[in-house]
Amino acid sequence: MQNILIVGAVVIIGVVGFFLLQSNGETIIGEDAAMDAATDEAMLDIVRDDMSDETTPADIVTTAIATPELSTLVVAVVAADLAETLQGPGPFTVFAPVNQAFEALPAGTVDTLLLPENIADLQAILTYHVVPGAVMAGDLTDGMVVETVNGESLTINVSAAGVSINGSANVAIADIITSNGVVHVIDAVLLPATE
C-alpha cells in the first residue's frame, strides 16, 4: 500500500506540473491570494523547462502530479481511490488546495484521513472540491452556487479582491486547462458541512 501511495504521489506531482505548464497564460486572482505572482511565475518557469517537449494538456491527475505544491492533494487522491476517476473523460472542475492548505488543518487531520478506515470521509472531502463540467474563471459570478460531485454545494464570491469559495478559500491560480477539465488552485481546504 505504501509503495502504491509513493508511486501515486510521484505521478500526481508530474501531472500538476504539466497542469501549470498548460496554464501559460494563467490567471492570478486576488491580491490576498496565498501564492504571489512572482512565486507562481518562478514555479511555472521550472515546470516549463522540465516539460518543454509536451504539446497537449495532460489529465487532471497527471497535471497535479507534476506540481510539487499539490503533492499532498495527490497523495490524498490516491489514498481515496479517486485517481482513476479524475483521469476519466470528465470534464471536471477541481478546486485544488496547495500543500500549505492541508498543513493549516488541525494537527493530525491529514494523517487520520489517510488511514484506510477513513476512506469514506476522505472521499467526501475531496469530491467536495470537484464540480462536474469545465467551469472557467470567467464563468464565475458573485453569489453563484455550484453543486459538487459529493452532492453538496459551494458558494462562489467574486469581488475586487478576487474570487473565494465559501468565503474561506481564495483562488490563487485559475484556469489551468487539462485534457479532461480545468483546475483552480486554492489556498484552503474546503470542508463539507457536518451533520
Structural domain contains residue 86? yes
pLDDT-based confidence at residue 59 (cuts at 50, 70, 90): very high
Segment 31-53 mean pLDDT: 42
**What is the average pLDDT score of the chain?**
78
| H/E stretch holding 97 | strand 92-97
Q: Is 195 within the bounds of a domain?
A: no
The verdict on residue 148 lying in a domain is: yes
Answer whether residue 193 is part of any domain: no
Q: How many domains does the chain have?
A: 1
Q: What is the extent of the structural domain holding 48?
A: 2-186
What CATH number corresponds to the domain at position 174? 2.30.180.10
DSSP class of 138: G
The pLDDT value recorded for residue 170 is 95
Least Cα distance to 60 among 12, 5, 107 occurs for 12
SS3 130: strand
Question: What DSSP character marks residue 193?
Answer: P
Residue 165 lies in a domain: yes
User: Does some domain include residue 28?
Assistant: yes
Pick the more confident residue, 9 or 94: 94
- State the pLDDT at residue 57: 84
Binned at pLDDT 50, 70 and 90, residue 100 comes out as very high
Residue 194 located in a structural domain: no
Write out pLDDT tens, residues 156-170: 999 988 999 999 999
Q: How confident is the model over 126-130, as a mean pLDDT?
A: 96
For residue 78, being part of any structural domain is answered with yes
99 half-sphere exposure, CB direction, 13 A CA radius: 14
The per-residue pLDDT for 90 is 87
In angstroms, the CA 151 to CA 129 distance is 11
pLDDT value at 36 more than 60? no
**Secondary structure class of 14 (helix, strand, coil):** helix
What is the reported pLDDT for 107? 93
What's the pLDDT at 12?
38
The gap between the terminal CA atoms of the chain, to the nearest Å, is 31
* Angstrom distance (rounded) from CA 41 to CA 119: 35
The pLDDT > 90 percentage for the chain reads 66
